[in-house]
Amino acid sequence: MTGRRRTFRGEQRGVSVVEFALVFCFVVLPLMLGIVQYGYHYWALETASATAREAVRRMAVGTQEACTTTEAVERLGGPAVGSSTPTAQVGYLTTRAVGNTVTVTVSLQSLHIGLPFLPLPDGGRITQVAQARIENVPATDLTC
């Protein structure tokens, strides 16, 4: 050998592209999907909570039960809130009388983007409960 140095510069072309692809696919992409998934779950949780609070407020002032639960289900049944048919239930501590407590429970299944490494709390099932003191029981229920 005559002392000639070999350079591997030509063989290293494209290494940075491969390194970027590996980092992006295994670190950045799952991180971004996780942010989207948990952000969406939190948004659905807050929507369910606000819906339960609004429904119990309406029940406390004497709105019709059927009207209130239908409105709550419609609000939670929007295309971007959950992946299942939501439910809304109204319950009373004892009877529907001024001073007693009314409880509204809403539940739905949050959307899941389907990645096995992104588990959601309770499997994505969201249940929110709100309670209020009954302030008014009119002779005829208030309409929607």
pLDDT digits (tens, 9 = 90+) for 74-131: 999 877 778 788 999 999 988 899 999 999 999 999 888 777 778 888 989 999 999 9
Q: Is residue 33 part of a domain?
A: yes
**DSSP H/E element including 22:** helix 15-23
Model pLDDT, residue 8: 56
Q: Is residue 65 part of a domain?
A: yes
Model pLDDT, residue 40: 87
Phi, psi of 16, deg, nearest 5: -65, -35
Residue 69: which domain range?
15-133
Model pLDDT, residue 47: 93
CA distance 25 to 20: 8
Model pLDDT, residue 46: 94
Full-model pTM: 0.79
Q: Number of folded domains in the chain?
A: 1
Q: 120 and 112 in contact (C-beta within 8 Å)?
A: yes
pLDDT tens readout for residues 18-42: 888 888 888 888 888 889 889 889 9
Amino acid at 29: L
End-to-end Cα spacing for the chain: 94
Q: Is residue 101 part of a domain?
A: yes
